[in-house]
Amino acid sequence: MDLGADLKGRRVLITGASGGLGAHFARTVARCGAAVAVAARRTDRLNDLVETLKGLGAAQAHAIELDVTHGAAIHACVAETVSALGGLDVLVNNAGIVRRGLAIDQTAEDFDDVMSVNLRGVWLMAVAAARHWRETGTPGNIVNIASMLGERVSTGTASYCVSKAGVVQMTKALALEFARHRIRVNALEPGYFETEINAGFFDTEAGKAMIRQIPMRRIGRVEDLDGPFLLLASDASRFMTGAAIPVDGGHLLS
Ligand code: NAP
């Protein structure tokens, strides 16, 4: 089955698309001929990305300024996507942050920042999209970008681990409730991929030691996510909901 073919003409909204994995997911669905709305705070980057997406074959590409910590902005973002693309078929909840440091040294604000983007933002986006699908009576598909650290823990990223474990559990809880509206909810759990969220870490001694713990002995390349991502974003996963799929070179096994 051609996973990408199914996405032709589908309307996909991706949060946190101004860099890293989100921008890569946008390029991936653009190559499949999807219509894409890319959302984040840095609109200069999004505007450049929109031009790239059009060149790659996107049916449409549209940039939306979005801060997922602002509830009103989330509702406006879903409405703008529907207006710009003529509807919404797939929501990719990708925006995420990390605040590095030992839990004992972190402030309440550090914790709140992480939860506000990684957990509350994902929740509000999912609910806003689900309300749209319920109102229009159309099926929907949500792909949450969780993390391997939703399943295991690492030193210095405790609040991030907690938030991502919450995303995994949220994926299951919302899948259970949304199925009656023909809305599926699944999650990807990437292992380590070099992006701005972890820039420089893999060149440090700690980073190199971490790579030695990965059974496949390397960090991920963004294109390693393409197959699992397209599976969840397309109807190839039409009988899957509430699943969380690790894409980590076996890291969860070590
Ligand atoms: P990244 O390069 O730092 O990108 C994070 C994205 O989130 C940026 O586009 C950023 O855009 C956006 N964002 C941050 N705060 C936001 C807010 N308040 N509102 C809207 N957008 C916001 O990181 P990445 O590695 O691509 O991470 C993408 C997702 O994958 C995250 O959920 C991350 O936890 C997850 N993940 C990454 C890895 C990895 O190894 N890289 C592994 C597992 C999971 P603006 O700053 O422009 O708003």
Architecture of the domain made up of 3-240: 3-Layer(aba) Sandwich (3.40)
Confidence band for 1, pLDDT divided at 50, 70 and 90: low
Nearest CA-CA partner of 124 in 174, 68, 163: 68
Helix axis angle for 71-85 and 121-136, nearest 10°, is: 40
Task: Give, as one character, the DSSP assignment of residue 214.
Answer: S
Residue 192 annotated as catalytic: no
Nearest CA-CA partner of 25 in 145, 120, 163: 145
Query: Torsion angle of alpha carbons 114, 124, 195, 6, nearest 10°?
Result: 160
CA angle, 11 then 16 then 20, to 5°: 105
CA atoms of 79 and 29, how far apart (whole Å): 21
Tell whether ligand 1 has an atom less than 6 A from the beta carbon of residue 195. yes
Which residue among 67, 163, 195, 245 is best mutated to probe the pocket of ligand 1, counting the most ligand atoms within 8 A of its Cβ? 195
pLDDT in tens, 162-221: 999 999 999 999 999 999 999 999 999 999 999 998 888 999 998 999 999 999 999 999
Listed in sequence order, the residues at least 6 apart from 131 whose beta carbon sits closer than 8 Å to its beta carbon are: none
Task: Give, as one character, the DSSP assignment of residue 116.
Answer: I
Q: What is the pTM of this model?
A: 0.98
Q: How many helices and strands in the chain, by DSSP H and E? A: 8, 7
Atom of ligand 1 nearest to the CA of 148: 43
pLDDT in tens, 48-93: 999 999 999 999 999 999 999 999 999 999 999 999 999 999 999 9
Question: Which pLDDT value is given to residue 199?
Answer: 86
CA 249 / ligand 1 centre spacing (Å): 20
Enumerate the domain spans of the chain: 3-240
Question: Which pLDDT value is given to residue 2?
Answer: 77
CA atoms of 88 and 12, how far apart (whole Å): 6
